[in-house]
Amino acid sequence: MLQNLINGIHHVTAGVAGAQEDVDFFTTIVGQRLAKQTVLMDGPLPIYHLYYTNADADIGSAMTTFPYGKAGIKARRGSGQVKITSYTVPSNSLEFWVEHFQKHHVRHGTIEERFGQRRLTFMHPCGLEFEFVEDDTDTRRGYVTDDVSINEAVKGFHSVTMSVREVEEQNRFITEVLGFQFIGQERNYYQYELKEGGANKTIYVVHEPDLPQGSWGLGAGTIHHVAFAVDTDDELNQVREIVTGLGFTDMSEIKDRYYFHSAYVRSPGGILCEFTTSDIGFTIDEPFEELGQKLHLPPWKLKDSEEIMSQLEPITNPQKPLVK
């Protein structure tokens, strides 16, 4: 099992539609920091890869997106995917978020309680489902905007909810491979926690036996994968050996994503899981205070920079650099 190698969720990656629409949603509506503008690192297609984080760009706070609207590539939502991506927010803040979403005409649910925590779901313009979970045990620092104060600010990920048609094999993967512990069940939701549990160390599985299988490729409208954090390449190599030894022989080779190194495996329920190093980070190519202010390409893309930039949808980051 990997419980001694995994530190929690590293990032979550989705395909979305318009690039500026996405920037506006995460910076203005959700109140995250646009911490990195880069591009899809493998393949010739010129597509942004955008990273949205908390104030400190912590591991476990980065929602990353590929805007596929200009390319016209869509994905199909369904089973075998991350259905809900959840963030932590301070206690007694959900009423603020209801008013905030109404002000900005964002589709949202009602405040509910599940597994002892208050929650509020809301929707990205392209149909992705998100959730805020109140949790004061999360000490990470939220990003403050003109509309969102520290008393409401998003701290980072709380959990992901995986939709599956059959629970048993996905349960085995989460407990026997990832090393999460099964905590309990409410209706068709199952809760799992890593180590001490809580924010960034929680997975939910929702059993939806009649939901058709969703698509697996990158495209607008679905979560493509969830990544789990390890420390360095040494731990990542150990993960590959353990996962392959447990029979998951489709585990990928290690990929260079410039800001981290990664390897991927598809879980029995269909959800793609990534294992990602934590020792490189976003400041490899720009200062912390200036994160996300301009486009950065990995070294192997620099020779094609003019062609890439000419094909990208222009975007404007509404946020200013942090004061030093």
Q: Would you give per-residue pLDDT tens digits along the chain (324 residues)?
A: 799 999 999 999 999 999 999 999 999 999 999 999 999 998 889 999 999 999 999 999 999 999 999 999 999 999 999 999 999 999 999 999 999 999 999 999 999 999 999 999 999 999 999 999 999 999 999 999 999 999 999 999 999 999 999 999 999 999 999 999 999 999 999 999 999 999 999 999 999 999 999 999 999 999 999 999 999 999 999 999 999 999 999 999 999 999 999 999 999 999 999 999 999 999 999 999 999 999 999 999 999 999 999 999 999 999 999 875
Q: Are strands 202-207 and 189-193 parallel, antiparallel or unpaired?
A: antiparallel
pLDDT of residue 232: 98
Q: How far apart are CA 265 and CA 278, in angstroms?
A: 18
Q: How far apart are CA 63 and CA 127, in angstroms?
A: 15
DSSP 8-state secondary structure symbol assigned to residue 227:
E
Check if CATH label 3.10.180.10 holds for domain 9-311.
Answer: yes
pLDDT of residue 43: 81
* Beta sheet of 272-276, edge-to-edge order: 33-39, 48-53, 62-67, 9-16, 222-229, 272-276, 261-266, 255-256
DSSP 8-state secondary structure symbol assigned to residue 270:
S
Q: How far apart are CA 163 and CA 183, in angstroms?
A: 17
Please answer whether residues 97 and 142 qualify as being in contact, where contact means their C-beta atoms are separated by less than 8 angstroms.
Answer: no
Amino acid at 321: P
pTM of this prediction exceeds 0.95: yes
pLDDT of residue 322: 87
- CA-atom Rg of the chain in angstroms: 19
Taking the CA atoms of residue 278, residue 40, residue 174 and residue 120 in that order, the dihedral angle to the nearest 10 degrees is 90
Q: Are strands 181-186 and 261-266 parallel, antiparallel or unpaired?
A: unpaired
CA distances from 294 to 21, 208, 215, 290, 301 (A): 17, 41, 32, 8, 16
Q: How far apart are CA 125 and CA 129, in angstroms?
A: 10
Q: What angle do CA 78, 207, 228 make, to 5 degrees?
A: 75
Q: Locate the domains of the chain by residue range.
A: 9-311
